[in-house]
Structure 1
Amino acid sequence: MSESVCETDTISLSEMASEILLNILKYLSVPDLLNMKLTCRRFCCVINSFWDQIVFKHPLSLLVTNQSSRQMQKRCQNILVSFTKHRISNNWQRGTYKETSQFFKQKCIPCFHLEKDRFWLGRGTYIKSYARYRGNVDFHYPNNVIDRLISKHLCKFVVNDDLILSGNGPNLRLHSLQSKKCIFNFNLNDMEINCLDLASNCFAVGSRDCKLQFYDLVQKKYPIWKFTNCYEDRIWSVALNHRKLAIGTAANKSSTSLIVLDIERRECEMKLGTQQIGAGILNCKWENPDLLWTGGYDSFLRKWDLRIGECVQSFLDPFMSTIYSFDYDFTNTMVTGCDSNGRVVLWDIRKDKYIQMYYMKSCTTSSSPVYCISFDAEYLFAATESHVNVLDFTLMRGPVQDYSEIFKHQIII
Structure 2
Amino acid sequence: MLLPQLPEDVLYHIFSYLDYKSLSRLSQVCKTIYYFVNRDAVWRRIAKDFLNTGITRNGTDIYHHIPLKERVKIAQNWYDGVCKRAIPLKWRTKLLPWLQLDGDVLFLSQAADIGVYPLRQDYGRLQRNPLKIYSGHNGDVCRFVLTDSHLISGGSDGKILVHSRRSDMTVELYGHNQEVNCLDSKDGLIISGSRDQTARIWTFTSSCRRDTIPMYDRVWSVGISPALSSFVTGTACCENFSPLRIWDVERLECVCSLGSEFRRGAGVLDMVFETPFQLFTCGYDTFIRLWDLRLSPRKCVMEWEEPHDSALYCIQTDGNHMIASGSSYYGVVRLWDKRQTKCLQFFQLSSDKVSSPVYCLRFSSSHLYAALATSLHSLDFRHNPIPIR
Q: Which TM class, normalised by the smaller chain length?
A: 0.7 to 0.9
- RMSD value over aligned CA atoms? 2.9
Q: What are the residue-to-residue correspondences of 1:98-113 with 2, within 5 Å?
A: 98-101=84-87, 102-113=89-100
Aligned to 1:6: none
Matched pairs, number: 377
2:224 corresponds to which letter in structure 1?
L
Match of 1:159 in 2: 146
Counterpart check, 1:44 vs 2:31? no
**More moved, 165-174 vs 39-48:** 39-48
Which residue in 1 is equivalent to 2:250?
264
Q: Does the residue aligned with 2:333 lie in a helix, a strand or coil? A: strand
Q: CA deviation at 1:133?
A: 2.0
1:5 counterpart residue number: none
Amino acid of the residue matched to residue 238 of structure 1?
Answer: V
* 1-structure distance, mates of 2:160, 2:267: 24
Measured in 1, the distance between the counterparts of 2:330 and 2:114 equals 26
Encode CA deviations 1:195-252: one digit per residue, 9 max, x unaligned: 111122110121102112111223x151111111xx3210001111201111000001
Counterpart of 1:328 in structure 2 is 317
Displacement of 1:363 after TM fit? 3.7
Bigger-Rg structure (1/2): 1
Structure 1 residue aligned with 2:76: 90
Task: From the superposition, tell whether residues 139 and 28 of structure 1 become closer, same or farther in structure 2 (CA, over 3 Å).
Answer: closer
How far, CA to CA, are the matches of 2:26 and 2:336 in structure 1?
34
What amino acid sits opposite 1:374 in the alignment? R
Give the conservation status (yes or no) of the 8 Å contact 1:195–1:205.
yes
Counterpart secondary structure, 1:377: coil
What is the rounded CA distance, in whole Å, between the counterparts of 2:91 and 2:168 in structure 1? 26
**Is residue 207 from structure 1 mapped to residue 175 from structure 2 by the alignment?**
no
1:251–1:332: structure 2 CA closer, same or farther, 3 Å change rule? Answer: same
* Secondary structure of 1:44 counterpart: helix
AA partner of residue 254 (structure 1): N
Quote the residue 2:221 is aligned against.
237
Deviation at 1:161, TM superposition (A): 0.8
The superposition leaves residues 237-272 of structure 1 with CA deviations (integer Å, 9 ceiling, x where unpaired) of 111120111100000122411011101112111122
Contact 2:83–2:384 (Cα < 8 Å) also in 1:
no
For 1:279, give the aligned amino acid. A
The Cα shift of 1:31 comes to: 7.6
Residue 294 of structure 1: aligned partner: 281
Q: Is the 8 A contact 2:160 2:175 kept in 1?
A: yes
TM-score between both structures, scaled by the size of structure 1: 0.82
Contact 1:63 1:348 in 2 (8 A): no
Partner letter of residue 171 of structure 1? K
Which residue identity does 2:116 align to in structure 1?
A: S
Q: Distance in 2 between matches of 1:140 and 1:216?
A: 35
Is the CA contact 1:71–1:330 (under 8 Å) kept in the aligned structure 2? no
**Aligned residue type for 2:345:** Q
Correspondence for 2:354 = 366
Per-residue deviation, 1:100: 1.3
Partner letter of residue 45 of structure 1? Y
Determine whether 1:174 maps to 2:162.
Answer: yes
Q: How far, CA to CA, are the matches of 2:144 and 2:98 in structure 1? A: 7
SS in 1 for 2:319: coil
2:328 is matched by which residue type in structure 1? D
User: Which position in structure 1 is the counterpart of 2:332?
Assistant: 343
Of 118, 123, 141, 2:110 maps to: 123
Q: Quick one: structure 1 residues 314 and 286, their matched pair in 2 at CA, closer, same or farther if it must change by over 3 Å?
A: same
Question: Deviation per CA, 1:146-184, whole angstroms, max 9, x where unpaired?
Answer: 1x33321111111111011111122211011112211x1
Moved more, 366-375 or 344-353: 344-353
TM-score, normalising length: structure 2:
0.87
Partner of 1:185: 172
CA 1:71–1:379: 2 relative to 1, 3 Å? farther
Would the alpha carbon gap of residues 127 and 33 (structure 1) be closer, same or farther in structure 2, given more than 3 Å must change? closer
Rounded Cα–Cα distance in structure 2 between residues aligned with 1:208 and 1:314: 27
Q: Secondary structure at the match of 1:133?
A: coil
- What CA distance in whole angstroms lies between the structure 1 residues aligned with 2:381 and 2:176? 46
- Aligned-partner Cα distance in 2 for 1:27–1:282: 43
The reply to whether residue 284 of structure 1 matches residue 284 of structure 2 is: no
Give distance in 1, aligned partners of 2:4 and 2:110.
Answer: 54
Mapped pair 1:381 → 2:357: no
After superposing the two structures, state which structure 1 stretch, 188-197 or 345-354, moved more: 188-197
Worse-matched range after superposition: 26-35 or 387-396: 26-35
With 157-166 and 135-144 compared, the bigger mean Cα shift is at: 135-144
Q: State the alpha-carbon separation in 1 of the partners of residues 365 and 198 from structure 2.
A: 38
What is the identity, as a one-letter code, of the residue corresponding to 2:246? Answer: V
Q: Give the structure 2 partner of residue 226 of structure 1.
A: 212
The 1:78/1:355 distance shift into structure 2, 3 A limit, reads farther
Structure 2 Cα separation of the partners of residues 81 and 170 of structure 1 = 45
Q: CA deviation at 1:41?
A: 4.5
Which string of whole-angstrom CA distances, capped at 9 and with x for unpartnered residues, describes residues 135-155 of structure 1?
623332322221x33321111
Structure 1 residues 97 and 41 mapped into 2: Cα distance closer, same or farther (>3 Å)? farther
Identity across aligned pairs (percent)?
Answer: 27
Q: Is the 1:150–1:171 contact (alpha carbons within 8 Å) kept by the matching residues of 2?
A: yes
